[in-house]
Amino acid sequence: MSKLITIIGGRDKSGNVEAVKSLQIESGEIYSIVGFTGSGKSQLISDIEQMAQGDTVTGRQILIDGKAPDYSTRYNPDLKLVAQLSQNMNFALEMEVRDFLILHAESRGIVSTEKMISEIMACVNSLAGEAVMESDILTRLSGGQSRALMIADVAIISNSPIILVDEIENAGIDRRKAMKLLTGRGKIVLIVTHDPQLALIGEKRIVMKNGGMDKIIDLTKDEKLAEAVLDQFTTAILNTQNKIRSGENITKADLVLREAVLC
């Protein structure tokens, strides 16, 4: 698995040289990509996914472990650099979760074992609100269950070194656990988001403007505290949602918790 991705800057939409001349991202790091609609977030990801060599509209170059990738690395689908996890994920196969995991492992030349499948299922159920069984049919999984399955699958089976998390603000999963799972497996995680909490989960964030990388911001101590407060607030909301979903009544204690978080 690649340990280092280097992005050599190109040009923005106006043809100006990007403010960020070069950026190195190491395995296990989380970067969020932020900016207004049309600022170039998707094009940056596209350049990375294509392992661009000055042959896209931006003129960027992507290096893998300090070297330009050869032809086979760029165009062999088995060596795909980026695995994408998006908010809209739906399965089309009428097959059991267990069979899907075995099929995916075999397609990548990996011998599936009971231990591996058990590990994946444990990860899935640490992320999803509703338990997923090995015998569950893929097409009958909820959106949150599907995303939890794919995150665990990508973390443990996929050999793609970069994971793109694209707009999963309302994904119905434990996002903090998901990021920890992916980076703990040595993945580089890039989060494209408008959500402030997701943006602050990353150690750094790439700010996009006019199609170019405008600046790289390191997470500050104040921002870490802000993210912790946002996490408490999000947890309080999720707990309230779960009580409603499970048929419980909301009490004064739930409202007091919310007020305490806001203070």
Please report, for the domain that includes residue 214, its CATH number: 3.40.50.300
Q: Are residues 116 and 173 in the same domain?
A: yes
Say if strands 61-64 and 4-8 run parallel, antiparallel, or are unpaired.
antiparallel
Residue 135 in tokens:
């015998």
Domain extent for 142: 4-219
- pLDDT number for residue 143: 78
pTM for this one? 0.78
> Which three-class secondary structure state does DSSP give residue 85?
strand
Tens digit of each residue's pLDDT (9 = 90 or more) over 35-94: 999 999 989 988 998 899 999 999 999 999 999 988 888 887 777 777 877 666 667 778
The C-alpha atoms of residue 164 and residue 5 are separated, in whole angstroms, by 14
Question: Are the C-beta atoms of 4 and 65 separated by less than 8 Å?
Answer: yes
Q: What DSSP state is assigned to residue 254?
A: H
Tens digit of each residue's pLDDT (9 = 90 or more) over 89-123: 667 778 999 999 998 888 877 887 888 999 999 98
Tens digit of each residue's pLDDT (9 = 90 or more) over 214-260: 999 999 999 988 888 887 777 777 778 778 878 898 887 776 555 54
Q: Are residues 245 and 262 in the same domain?
A: yes
> For the chain, what percent of residues have pLDDT higher than 90?
32
Q: Are residues 99 and 228 in the same domain?
A: no
Q: Are residues 30 and 134 in the same domain?
A: yes
At 163, phi and psi to the nearest 5?
-110, 125
Number of structural domains found in the chain: 2
Q: Are residues 234 and 141 in the same domain?
A: no
Q: Are residues 139 and 149 in the same domain?
A: yes
- Give the number of C-alpha atoms closer than 13 A to the C-alpha of residue 261, restricted to the C-beta side: 18
